[in-house]
Structure 1
């Protein structure tokens, strides 16, 4: 049985570094490390994201063009993390050698505290 007010009823779609990300209050998300230096900000630093494309609150859906004007997503940086290693295997033409290269992408894990719209708190825990 599902509790009222918890679940997929409240979410927002935000724009982070050109990628669209669906966020929900109380959950953590991994995003690609953006231009800000994590050493300057540190862990547990509060963030506010203004580039909100869509907010859903129950049956109410608010869509921006391109962004919603009075919408703010508030969250905190939890820690720095890495994505799984991406391996690139290449066999050059007419050679019997295998070249393997790979890298791990830097990610930032953040948690969403609340979704604010029109100075009204839409979803928080």
Structure 2
């Protein structure tokens, strides 16, 4: 079981769990205003350790569009297969003053769960 650590909180999750859901399991009210479809970036996180090498095309496109590529990752587009340490969860219910975090994300990555190396994704953009 992968261990996900955020600050002083850790949670063991089943392999294949979406990171956004694992963070919620750790008791952190992370934003997912678009419902986990890689459209809003409210589920963004910064990694301290264990950042996956690959990403979905939807994540790459949204992070590029918002100028966040290389700084953050979208937790709704990441599946937990190994231990990860999250350095920052900038958008939470408490930090943003929301009344809710957004629609519940599906258990599986949407839209297309295929992950590719960043170099491949970059070559498709240019």
TM-score where L is the length of structure 2: 0.25
TM-score where L is the length of structure 1: 0.25
The structure, 1 or 2, with the larger RCO (C-alpha pairs under 8 Å, 6+ apart) is: 2
Q: Which has the higher helix share?
A: 2
Structure with greater Cα Rg: 1
